[in-house]
Amino acid sequence: MATYQELISQKAALEKQAAELHDQIETARQGEHTEAVAQIKALMEKHGVTMAELGGTKGKPGRTPRAAKAANGPGRKVAPKYRNPATGDTWSGRGLQPNWLKAALASGKKIDEFAL
């Protein structure tokens, strides 16, 4: 049976070998990537294809990826559809109804009375 020190030295040798293999893999991947880009550029030039025609996005052409949409901020403000005449509070019609509207509807009023 191998000793602890022998196993540690074997582990170090294997880790070194793994690091070397990782470097070789990365070098090969970069070389193939460079070659693929060159082939794509040559085909684009040969057939007169532009980047604009390709769309420049992943997924379906002409669509903005979700990550890009999320990076633009939380979303658009929506114009109010209903107003409380007593206080001037508004509601867009999206999300939960505000308490002032719930109370008014419970008292028998119609939502159309608050429409802008």
Q: Token pair 């505000």 is at which residue?
A: 98
Q: Which amino acid is at 108?
A: G
Say if CB 115 and CB 105 are below 8 A apart. no
pLDDT confidence of residue 96: 92
Low-confidence stretches of the chain (pLDDT beneath 70): 56-73
Under 8 Å CB-to-CB from 29, ≥6 apart: which residues?
Answer: none
Q: Token pair 């293999």 is at which residue?
A: 21
**Domain map of the chain by residue range?**
4-57, 82-114
**Topology classification of domain 82-114:** H-NS DNA Binding Protein (4.10.430)
Average pLDDT, the chain: 87
The span from the CA of 94 to the CA of 49, in Å, is: 44
